Amino acid sequence: MKSILFLVLLISVNVSNAQMPETLEGQYRSSYNGDVIRLSLKQQTPLSYNGQMNDSYQQYDVTLLRDDNKVTGSATEKSMGLIFNLTGTVLPLQLNLIFKITLEGVENSMDLTFEKLSDDADEPSTLQRDPIAKIQFPEGATHPEALIGTWAKEELYQSGAGDNYMGAGFSESMTFLPGGQLADAGSEAYISGNQYSGQSSSQGLNIIPGVSWFTVGNQLYLKASENGMEETYHLGKYYIENGHLLITSTNGEKLLLTKR
């Protein structure tokens, strides 16, 4: 079963119908636990960009190549020389980037969403959100209190020992809001070894436009609305116990989330 967080991101890309930006040049920002992550991009050619990304821990040299609403490139961490391969999606006033790196033969990835800053203010630009009232829930749909809150998918990796030890951890979170709205609650990743360590994160309770959640009995659904058209996604049967949410799809695959 695909990650519920990946599905939400996919839906949010599909329902966005605002005009794509002509250039990616400018200032972007994310945050996590009060730690601001800044990305600055400068256009070099009609399709290529160079820039810098930094948080309180690391600085990165970034290169991007744009192809319509897709980007590819790299981010090189300055102190350790770790190189992340980048792929991403261009959205109105947003840039979604997926960072991938292979360590000890294991490919790891993390997602960051940057909001573009306006030219005259150091604040993220405001996106137009589709009111939740536009989405009509089916008869019998509910929004159980037990589901309301932030849930995280977490993955831990360890390999080697001694001088060859490598440890890494990744998490991505989403928030079920009362009344059926969904929000991206950020992501976090860290990598450590005998002679290196690093971490990166993003945070922000960003409501996903045109997407909602509901349950019918013990079944969990997502619903997307665009231009009067609606589509429902059946995620599967859900079960909550001791701060854990288990979602079992119709083909038997399972996804375990932890409440934060």
pLDDT in tens, 156-215: 666 656 666 566 666 778 888 877 888 877 766 656 665 555 555 555 556 777 788 999
* Run of H or E residues at 182: strand 181-193
| CA-wise closest residue to 29 among 120, 143, 114, 98 | 114
Q: Residue 221's pLDDT band (boundaries 50, 70, 90)?
A: very high
Mean pLDDT score, 53-75: 90
Give CA–CA dist 143/44, Å, rounded.
48
Q: Answer whether residue 226 shows pLDDT above 80.
A: no
Model pLDDT, residue 231: 81
- Structure tokens given for 104: 């000890």
Query: Whole-model pTM above 0.75?
Result: no
pLDDT digits (tens, 9 = 90+) for 69-107: 899 999 998 877 888 899 988 887 888 888 888 866 777
* Run of H or E residues at 105: none
Q: Answer whether residue 118 shows pLDDT above 80.
A: no
Q: Answer whether residue 117 shows pLDDT above 90.
A: no
pLDDT digits (tens, 9 = 90+) for 6-20: 566 555 545 444 456
Q: Which residues pair with 4 in a beta bridge?
A: none
